[in-house]
Structure 1
Amino acid sequence: MKKLFIAASCAMAMFAGGVQAQDQNLRIAFDVPYEPFEYKDENGELTGFEVELASAMCKEMEAKCDFVIQAWDGMIPGLIARKFDLIMSSMSITAERAERVLFSDPYYITPGGWFGPESFNADVTDMNAMKGKTVGVQRGTTMDTFVTENMTGVVTIKRYTTAEDMVLDLEGQRLDAVFVDYPVGEQTILNRDGYKEVGESVKLGEGVGVAMRKRDTKLAKEINAALKTLKEDGTYDAIMAKYFNYDIKI
């Protein structure tokens, strides 16, 4: 009888507060490749800034975590369908997304960057100059929202499931320019001959947070506490320094 009472009490606690770090293995979803945040190295191992930060966060929470690769456009549906428990894949905090998921405190913020070939000479803020251009964005990102809201009817917008596909089309001259997270453009476009920044970077949104199901309020508190500790004890800065030569912390 006592065991039944304890089991019922635990079930009620989980229902009220959702998943906690030590209740089960936490499955964390990443969209790959999205270098330098998450990608596979030459040995096929998953790595990147967010992958390392997630590992440190799990260690701080004393939680066992499994990493899941998920295409970007299936992120929130997959989370709601319980395919995984957390999204830690450069998901910007927006009011629209916050209606469907619960976000942690933001853990980084980077601007969106404009990139294109050396031959590109238009002012990306001048709609007359941009008229007829083809611009690439990753589907469902804040960069997609920005271009859609500000340039619809002026440019042709091509949306991609992965940043990698977008870069391939830029190389294939099927795009005039792309608007992407600045660090992604820096590492996947600027390191290639014949490409440059073609406009000023633009800070968008409130930063990036870990996304979880709305009911997982206790888990959110644990994540926020762990990320706070990692920032205070120098772990965050050590990981950040491996991938960036500028501060993305928020």
Structure 2
Amino acid sequence: MNRVMGLATACMLALGGMGAAQAEPLRIATEGAYPPFNYVDSNNELHGFDVDIAKALCSQMQVECTLVAQDWDGIIPALMAKKYDAVVASMVVTEERQKQIGFTDRYYRTRLAVAVPSDSTLADTTPAALDGKIVGAQSSSTQSIYAEDIYGAAGAEVKLYPTQDDANSDLANGRLDAVVNDKFPLLDWLAKSGKDCCKLLGDIQGSDDDVAIAVRKDDQALREQLNKALAEIRANGTYAQIVSQYFPFDIY
């Protein structure tokens, strides 16, 4: 999945326990512009599935954590520059990203989907169907890579945006023929936007990907600690409880 430190939002997690006082504080970044996984509310506070997972992991590990919002385009460079220790931001594991950073075990699985205007006559999500159409996606994301490599190569005009909200807005305003996004946030937007402008065209078959926490390659100890905590919150029911607050189905 998807900032330069454009949002100065930070929320301290005051976690109790003897371990919290003794452990090294952990800084975790998320995007803050990818609902329902991460977003900033009217009080400039971070919320969403990613945020709740990060908080649960910090509690399980008994460490003090700070969550910060980071523009998607700069989220990997800032991690490598040690501005924070981990990224919990619905980041899909790709070979290209693994050349730069490390990943934990997955904490959910996603697939790509396409939304179109309600009056669209497009029949399916195949490259041939979108030949000659204008397709939008968020830049520096797996959906932008797919849009450019598959739809663009087949004859579509691909427009990239700083955030998925920007792409969705252009779809709603008739400036795009389709948008490509991860299915879950796309469904969330269609359900909550209050617009009858758009509809889900369908899933992109074969696009299933693992989503994991990003860390620096040399932070093997932190990766192992996070993996252990992930397994524990799945075993003790915390993970399922968080999922149920956002989705009526299992996304693992």
Name the TM-score class by shorter chain: 0.7 to 0.9
The CA deviation at 1:129 is 3.3
The answer on whether the counterparts of 1:115 and 1:198 sit within 8 Å (CA) in structure 2 is yes
Gaps of 5+ in 2: 1-21
Q: Which of the residues 214, 219, 223 maps onto 1:216?
A: 219
The CA deviation at 1:24 is 2.8
1:157 corresponds to which residue?
158
Distance 1:51 1:126, change over 3 A: closer
The answer on whether the counterparts of 2:33 and 2:40 sit within 8 Å (CA) in structure 1 is yes
The answer on whether the counterparts of 1:50 and 1:88 sit within 8 Å (CA) in structure 2 is yes
Taking only aligned residues, the RMSD between alpha carbons, in angstroms, comes to: 1.8
The CA deviation at 1:101 is 0.4
Q: Match of 2:78, SS?
A: helix
Larger Rg: 1
Q: State the one-letter code of the partner of 1:188.
A: W
The answer on whether the counterparts of 1:123 and 1:130 sit within 8 Å (CA) in structure 2 is no
What is the CA deviation profile of residues 124-163 of structure 1, one whole-angstrom value per residue up to 9, with x for unaligned ones? Answer: 4444432221111111222122222212241111111211
1:136 corresponds to which residue?
136
The answer on whether the counterparts of 1:58 and 1:65 sit within 8 Å (CA) in structure 2 is yes
Rounded Cα–Cα distance in structure 2 between residues aligned with 1:131 and 1:145: 17
Q: Percent identity?
A: 36
Q: State the one-letter code of the partner of 1:183.
A: F
What is the CA deviation profile of residues 163-202 of structure 1, one whole-angstrom value per residue up to 9, with x for unaligned ones? Answer: 1111111122111111101111111134422321112344
2:110 corresponds to which residue?
110
Q: Which moved more, 1:82-91 or 1:149-158?
A: 149-158
The answer on whether the counterparts of 1:139 and 1:161 sit within 8 Å (CA) in structure 2 is yes
The answer on whether the counterparts of 2:183 and 2:203 sit within 8 Å (CA) in structure 1 is no
Rounded Cα–Cα distance in structure 1 between residues aligned with 2:43 and 2:245: 18
Q: Which moved more, 1:29-38 or 1:118-127?
A: 118-127
Distance 1:151 1:212, change over 3 A: same
Pair 1:226 & 2:229 matched: yes
Q: Aligned runs of 1:49-128 on 2, under 5 Å?
A: 49-128=49-128
Rounded Cα–Cα distance in structure 2 between residues aligned with 1:52 and 1:203: 29
Rounded Cα–Cα distance in structure 1 between residues aligned with 2:104 and 2:182: 20
2:31 corresponds to which residue?
31
Which has the larger share of helix?
A: 1
Rounded Cα–Cα distance in structure 1 between residues aligned with 2:163 and 2:125: 25
Q: State the one-letter code of the partner of 1:166.
A: A
The answer on whether the counterparts of 1:94 and 1:205 sit within 8 Å (CA) in structure 2 is no
Q: Which moved more, 1:227-236 or 1:190-199?
A: 190-199
Higher relative contact order (CA 8 A, sep 6+): 1
The answer on whether the counterparts of 1:167 and 1:189 sit within 8 Å (CA) in structure 2 is no
Q: Match of 1:165, SS?
A: helix
The answer on whether the counterparts of 1:28 and 1:85 sit within 8 Å (CA) in structure 2 is yes
The answer on whether the counterparts of 1:28 and 1:87 sit within 8 Å (CA) in structure 2 is yes
The answer on whether the counterparts of 2:125 and 2:201 sit within 8 Å (CA) in structure 1 is no
Rounded Cα–Cα distance in structure 1 between residues aligned with 2:111 and 2:127: 21
Q: State the one-letter code of the partner of 1:170.
A: L
Q: Match of 1:210, SS?
A: strand
Gaps of 5+ in 1: 1-21
Rounded Cα–Cα distance in structure 2 between residues aligned with 1:158 and 1:189: 20
The answer on whether the counterparts of 1:105 and 1:224 sit within 8 Å (CA) in structure 2 is yes
Q: Which moved more, 1:35-44 or 1:65-74?
A: 35-44
Which has the larger share of strand?
A: 2
